[in-house]
Structure 1
């Protein structure tokens, strides 16, 4: 049960190029949105209180995020994920082709954007070495959003002290 600081530092070591971080602001939300679309079926119940696999996964992930020791980040990532899943659910009610088209299309586009970012980084995605990176990615984006808004300065300082500052990597030099 590692703490958010350690998880975010480990993830940040794979994400120091600002262009890579910027692609994560698009790619990761697209992937979470896609998961919301794809896991919106089947529904247990009807209407706004319908329970889906997406909401079960969200509940479990939220418990995990809220117990990592950074409550503001845990709340932020949980709210952002809930918004993306809710948006994804709105597209899951169409035909099977629409449901799969939106879900798979958004998923693949999100990963394509991620891999473009990692080209700039010169490193493979973090999840290749540790599957928990799939949960940490949305937390990283939420933390970066909080940092950009001036919140969680101590966490940002800890990440930069341990993982280094963000940079614009020279693409003509090896990583």
Structure 2
């Protein structure tokens, strides 16, 4: 498996245009949260005969969270912690949509479609295909990259997230 630095460097190769970077900073979290929202609706716990909170919390989103957590932990502990944070924000957003009485399905689907459409536009501006076309693992790398990219754009230090040449992804652009 590639190292975190290799993944970030490879991902950064197709995300050098500043407009495309900002599109990704907005759309990758939207895609992450809306994807988890859609997967939240896959009732694995109910299908397994569980009831109550166990049935509610054993769903497609939590299973994906655990499985992707294994990859994130293999990359580094700080990446794992970062993505636990993203998962927590996503669950909060999902619970908020449901508490507001909105349809989680339609809200997630609309956000998902719009965010992907804008991402496609960003890659048209970039002139390069999305990284996941070559390797689907990049779908899991995107949130890490944009977290680092956004922190770097804000001038925040990003320890342990050095890309090619010892620079953060934002500095590589």
Given the two structures, how large is their TM-score scaled by the length of structure 1? 0.78
Q: For residue 48 of structure 2, what is the aligned residue in structure 1?
A: none
Q: CA deviation at 1:85?
A: 3.4
* CA RMSD of superposed structures (Å): 3.0
SS in 1 for 2:132: helix
**Are 1:126 and 1:133, in contact at CA under 8 Å, matched by a contact in 2?**
yes
**Are 1:37 and 1:92, in contact at CA under 8 Å, matched by a contact in 2?**
no
Q: How many residues align?
A: 164
Q: CA deviation at 1:51?
A: 2.1
Q: Any residues of structure 2 matched to 1:150-169 within 5 Å, and which?
A: 150-152=157-159, 155-156=162-163, 158=165, 160=167, 165-166=172-173
| Higher helix proportion | 2
Q: Which has the larger displacement, 129-138 or 77-86? A: 77-86
Q: CA deviation at 1:99?
A: 2.9
Q: Which has the larger displacement, 111-120 or 45-54? A: 45-54
Q: For residue 87 of structure 2, what is the aligned residue in structure 1?
A: 81
CA distance in 2, matches of 1:106, 1:25: 15
Q: Which has the larger displacement, 146-155 or 135-144? A: 146-155
SS in 2 for 1:155: coil
Deviations 1:57-114 (A, max 9, x none): 1111112112113x3233213311331233124435788x923211211110110121
CA distance in 2, matches of 1:33, 1:106: 9
**Are 1:40 and 1:92, in contact at CA under 8 Å, matched by a contact in 2?**
no
Which of 82, 86, 97 in structure 2 is aligned with 1:91? 97
Q: For residue 8 of structure 2, what is the aligned residue in structure 1?
A: 8
Given the two structures, how large is their TM-score scaled by the length of structure 2? 0.79
1:127 aligned to 2:132? Answer: yes
CA distance in 1, matches of 2:96, 2:124: 33
SS in 1 for 2:157: coil
Moved over 6 A (4+): 161-164
In structure 2, stretches of 5+ residues that fail to align are 46-50
Q: For residue 51 of structure 1, what is the aligned residue in structure 2?
A: 58
Deviations 1:99-152 (A, max 9, x none): 321121111011012112212211111111221111111121122234342122
SS in 2 for 1:107: helix
Q: Residues 73 and 159 of structure 1: is their aligned pair in 2 closer, same or farther, counting only changes over 3 Å?
A: farther
